[in-house]
Structure 1
Amino acid sequence: MGGEASEARILDAWQANAQAWEHAVRGGVIESRRLVTDRAIVDAVLSRKPRKVIDLGCGEGWLARTLTAAGVEVLGVDAVPSLVKAAQAQGGGTFRVMAYEDVATGALHERADLVVCNFSLLGETSVAELLASVPCLLEPGGALLVQTLHPWAAGVEPYRDGWREGSWDGCGDGFGQPAPWYFRTLEGWMASFRRAGLCLMDLREPLHPRTGKPASVIFMAG
């Protein structure tokens, strides 16, 4: 898989599967989210007591609504217009359609106490450029929170950075072609943060209550 072609396929797949994703999220179909990862990212955000959060890759807006209900001001950004429209219809935050490439070039004239990327960093070059823009989005003392698949628990072989084919397994019905994703080892994530001028501040490994294995990893960097 070529990098440029794979980056384009990510957005194409999410646009094509936006409605199915919205139904899966709102229906609580995905077990790991229902049991572990949704609560994990909410707890991680609230532990920082932010006044304002930028949710990059906000999808249909569930995290923004949850945080708004807790008294946090949230700006959600996503490249998929139908997901942003669904988020706007539900309210509980301010939402904008914006590609990561535009955020990376400074089009998002906002700052926040926290920038959150919850299972929304799937590309290679697009993610590297986005991470490099994060320091300009943070208020003094602010931080980035990234929740993603735990590299050790994802079962990806060989264990090295590189493009992988995606899957909608466990997400329910109605999905078509999945998006590819760029797998990063733990070392790969550390290198990505370092190249972006970010330092790792904390790391959490939320455990699945049934398997006892990490359901995800949450990086905090600033």
Structure 2
Amino acid sequence: MDWEGSANAWIEAQGVHGDFSRRRVLDAPMLARVHAFSPQRLLDLGCGEGRFCRLLAKDVETLVGLDPSSALLAKASELGEARFVRGRAEDLPFESNTFDMVVSYLSLLDIEGIEAALDEVVRVLRPGGHFLIANLTGFATAADIKGGGWRILPDGSREIVVRRYLEPHTVVAEWKGIAVTNWHRPLSFYITQLLERGMALKFFDEPAVQHPTDPKEVAYNNAPYQLIMEWRAR
């Protein structure tokens, strides 16, 4: 179960503007962090079909999107707005100290060799560069929300069931014709790994829907589904 086989279903599910949580929760704060730092050279790590690159194109002088899926990169290249490169996060095809900012927009959970990938991010960042991360919360991946990790309560509401939170493990995520393998890792894993690499935490948030207008949005804000972290390299 991989992104190559799920590429067409993913592209259809995202459409032009992205899914609900990207449009209504993550895009605004992620763009705000990029604009606050004003990088000239930015790498979108795990860019997929290139949607976030297209949002950044007018504000970043040199913009590169990297992804291992040739099918997703073909769609990204068709729509344009950045230079797209096929490759893996564990072995980035770039010189050291190349980028002012690396962005991982919901892509760390797709990476099996995470330690090697984090080494590579630190390597390609220039001194003082920033690593901006959007990730699912650990309790969301431990509950396997995409796989139906819910319990129905007597009043008809739902609650998630969290298991094996402290244990990194794979989760098969299936929705809307997409079937991929994600990695659950507790938040402490990422923080410890980045601190060990000399990174300094500059920003943390658990974003919510701003100004919710319907029951779905109100319910979404009961607990954070995603988090944002921004780290600075030495």
Same fold (TM over 0.5): yes
The structure that has the greater radius of gyration is 2
CA-CA distance at 1:217 after TM superposition? 0.7
Number of equivalenced pairs: 203
Asked whether the equivalents of residues 161 and 188 of structure 1 are also in contact (C-alpha less than 8 Å), the reply is: no
Q: Which runs of 5+ in 2 are unaligned?
A: 144-161, 213-217
Instruction: Provide the residue aligned with 1:114 in structure 2.
Output: 101
Which residue matches 1:157? 163
User: Following superposition of structure 1 onto structure 2, how do residues 51-130 of structure 1 map, counting pairs within 5 Å?
Assistant: 51-103=40-92, 107-109=93-95, 111-123=98-110, 125-130=112-117
**1:6-25 C-alpha deviation (Å, 9 max, x unpaired):** xxxxxx51110011111222
Counterparts of 2:164 and 2:123, CA distance in 1: 35
CA contact (8 A) 1:132 1:197 kept: no
* Structure 1 unaligned residues grouped into runs of 5+: 1-11
Deviates more, 1:112-121 or 1:204-213: 204-213
Q: Which amino acid aligns with 2:190?
A: W
Structure 1 SS opposite 2:22: helix
> What SS does the aligned partner of 1:69 have?
coil
Distance 1:24 1:38, change over 3 A: farther
Work out which of the residue numbers 119, 123, 130 in structure 2 matches 1:136. 123
Give the equivalent residue in structure 2 for 1:40.
Answer: 29
> How far is 1:215 from its partner?
3.2
**Aligned counterparts of 2:17 and 2:38: Cα–Cα separation in 1:** 26
Higher relative contact order (CA 8 A, sep 6+): 1
Amino acid across the alignment from 2:95: H
Q: CA deviation at 1:188?
A: 1.4
CA contact (8 A) 2:90 2:116 kept: yes
Separation in 1 of the partners of 2:19 and 2:106?
Answer: 13
Per the alignment, in what secondary structure is the counterpart of residue 131 of structure 1?
Answer: helix
Q: Secondary structure at the match of 2:44?
A: strand
**Map 1:134-213 → 2, pairs under 5 A:** 134-154=121-141, 155=143, 156-169=162-175, 173=176, 175-176=177-178, 178-208=179-209, 209=212, 210=218, 211-212=220-221, 213=223
Q: TM-score, normalised by structure 2?
A: 0.78
Structure number having the greater strand percentage: 2
| CA contact 2:89–2:120 (8 Å) conserved in 1 | no
CA distance in 2, matches of 1:13, 1:135: 26
Change in Cα spacing, 1:71 to 1:168, as seen in structure 2 (3 Å) is same
Q: 1:205 to 1:53 in 2, by over 3 A?
A: same
Q: Which runs of 4+ in 1 moved over 4 A?
A: none
Q: CA deviation at 1:125?
A: 5.0
C-alpha displacement at 1:27, in angstroms?
Answer: 4.6
- TM-score of the two chains, using structure 1 as the length reference: 0.82
- Identity among equivalent pairs (%): 27
